[in-house]
Amino acid sequence: MKALGRHILVEFSGCNAEVLNDVSIIERSMVEAAQIAGATVINSTFHHFSPWGVSGVVVIQESHLAIHTWPEYRYAAVDLFTCGDSVDPWVSFEHLKKAFQANYSALEMNRGSLHVIQKSDFQPKIMREKPSFDLSKGHQIDRNVWFTDKDENQALSLRYTGDVLFDETNPFQRVRVLDSYSHGKFLAINNMVMCTERDEYHYHEMITHPVMQTHGNAKNVLVIGGGDGGTIRELFKYNVDNVTMVEIDEAVVRASKEHLPKIACEFNNPKLNLIIGDGIQFVKDAPANSYDVIIVDGSDPVGPAKGLFTAEFYNNCKNALKDGGLVITQGESPMFHEGTFVELNHCLKGIFGKQSVHTMLFHATTYPSGMWSLQVAVKGSKHPAKDFNKDQAAKFAQDKGLKYYNEDLHTAAFSLPTFVKTMLGDNA
């Protein structure tokens, strides 16, 4: 051996840009590249930057593999560094070249050439204890991979195992199920968290129970979106006659049934009429006075959910509601999407009247900012914060074992901080 280590500096160009922007594919490829070359992986840390690009390092017992990607240039800078002669870094190189579908140029350098350095008689004063695991027998790799739901300035990140349980891209969107360390499995659409096993009930209970309790006797309910099944799970706690659910993307339903069974547990309910189709068109075509309650459980206003934030859609919802009916829609966040939050509220007030639109806030602990809104519009004169049977709501919440909604929160959720009232022009 003429040197302590081998260092390959790689320029990968002309790569697949989508791959270079996908933190889980990159992390997996780098870990595999190390393992295939015979290295012992100690841990991996990868980070997805905003708005794009990934950086990361795989620490191996024989040194490290590092990467930084620029998807917009279809370029990745990679360092493959190995000590000793048990691992061939060119094997890692070949693996990554294929994974990134890359052109390349690469340069190998010897590091710590024994022509220029000599071993000393250095003896560490303190010897480290033996590791608790036997590296030669294989061990759990400590992977540090993060999913980030973000805009250009703010983000919420969940660390996940690096394993991708479901990943499909269709003409509507990309649907993924990942496994986080703190919140269990979670559903992501495009790059946004939709629901996690740990806190999904905050959202699903609050999008369902305040309007159902206010109505008091809803029999025909329409859900637009909601493909994970959490909202229909809550609805079937009532004695409804039927629930029609219109979800545009069957992949969301399939992914949820397969990986989130505690959320997607009511798809076989005989009172469910599941339609895979366009909810916007469905509401447009719906006969007038058909539903007691409409729940708009859509994604954020990008891709197919954009149309769920328009006056035309809510005019059609109003038409489809029976007199006395209520529509509730997820209203984004006053802290993360101030513009959309305010616009939607004003749009609903323009259609239902100022006195008939009411905003709720709740804790959405895995949506960016943690503060999320729901907008309720009433085709009638009821006030959803006040006109409900408190005793009945209390009994229902207790009997059904609800974990977020209760009779006090029903009213409290409609009490808004002053800055939010100011945003909405509601404190005049």
CA distance 96 to 94: 6
| Contact by Cβ (8 Å): 33, 92 | yes
Q: Is 279 within any annotated ligand binding site?
A: yes
Could you tell me the end-to-end alpha-carbon distance of the chain, in angstroms, rounded to an integer? 80
Instruction: For residue 375, report the phi and psi dihedrals to the nearest 5 degrees.
Output: -110, 130
Collapsing DSSP states into helix, strand and coil, what is residue 282? helix
Q: Catalytic pick from 24, 29, 44, 63?
A: 63
Alpha-carbon dihedral angle through residues 279, 281, 287, 290, given to the nearest 10 degrees: 10
Stretch that binds ligand SPD, among 153-161, 293-301, 374-382, 411-419 (CB under 6 A): 293-301
Q: Is 247 within any annotated ligand binding site?
A: yes
**297 catalytic, yes or no?**
yes
**95 catalytic, yes or no?**
no
* Least distance to ligand SPD, CB of residue 160, Å: 17
Q: Catalytic pick from 15, 83, 317, 347?
A: 83
Q: Which of 56, 89, 162, 226 binds ligand SPD (CB under 6 A)?
A: 226
* Least distance to ligand SPD, CB of residue 226, Å: 5
CA distance 308 to 377: 14
CA distance 307 to 75: 36
Q: Which of 22, 27, 199, 228 binds ligand SPD (CB under 6 A)?
A: 228
* Residue 396 found at the interface with ligand SPD (CB under 6 A): no
Subset of residues 397 to 426 that bind ligand SPD, contact rule: CB under 6 A: none
Q: What tokens does 147 get?
A: 């999913």
Q: Is 228 within any annotated ligand binding site?
A: yes
Q: Is 71 within any annotated ligand binding site?
A: no
Q: Is 278 within any annotated ligand binding site?
A: yes
Q: What tokens does 215 get?
A: 């109505």
* Residue 192 found at the interface with ligand SPD (CB under 6 A): yes
* Residue 299 found at the interface with ligand SPD (CB under 6 A): yes
Q: Catalytic pick from 47, 55, 68, 383?
A: 68
Q: What tokens does 98 get?
A: 């294929």
> What is the b/e burial string over 135-144, where b = at least 16 CB atoms within 10 angstroms of the residue's CB?
eeeeeebebb
In 3D space, the residue among 145, 168, 192 whose CA is nearest the CA of residue 27 turns out to be 145
Collapsing DSSP states into helix, strand and coil, what is residue 84? coil
Q: Residue 51, preceding bond cis, omega within 30 degrees?
A: yes
* Least distance to ligand SPD, CB of residue 309, Å: 12
Binding mask 246-285 for ligand SPD (x = CB under 6 A): ----------------------------------------
Q: Is 387 within any annotated ligand binding site?
A: no
**290 catalytic, yes or no?**
no
Q: DSSP states of 177-216 as a string?
A: EEEESSS-EEEEETTEEEEETTTHHHHHHHHHHHHHHHHS
**Residues contacting residue 422 through CB under 8 Å, at least 6 positions apart:** none
Residue 129 DSSP code: P
Q: How many angstroms separate the most distant Cα atoms in the chain?
A: 89
Q: Which of 203, 341, 388, 405 binds ligand SPD (CB under 6 A)?
A: 203
Number of residues that bind ligand SPD (CB under 6 A): 13
* Least distance to ligand SPD, CB of residue 22, Å: 20
Q: Is 417 within any annotated ligand binding site?
A: no
**68 catalytic, yes or no?**
yes
* Least distance to ligand SPD, CB of residue 209, Å: 14
Binding mask 147-186 for ligand SPD (x = CB under 6 A): ----------------------------------------
Q: How far is CA 305 from CA 253, 268, 389, in A?
A: 16, 25, 34
* Residue 341 found at the interface with ligand SPD (CB under 6 A): no
Q: Catalytic pick from 22, 149, 199, 297?
A: 297
Q: Which residues define the annotated binding site for S-methyl-5'-thioadenosine?
A: 173, 247, 278-279, 304
**Binding-site entries for spermidine:** 204, 228
* Catalytic residue positions, numbered: 63, 68, 83, 297
Q: Which residues bind ligand SPD (CB under 6 A)?
A: 192, 194-195, 203, 226, 228, 230-231, 297, 299-300, 330, 367
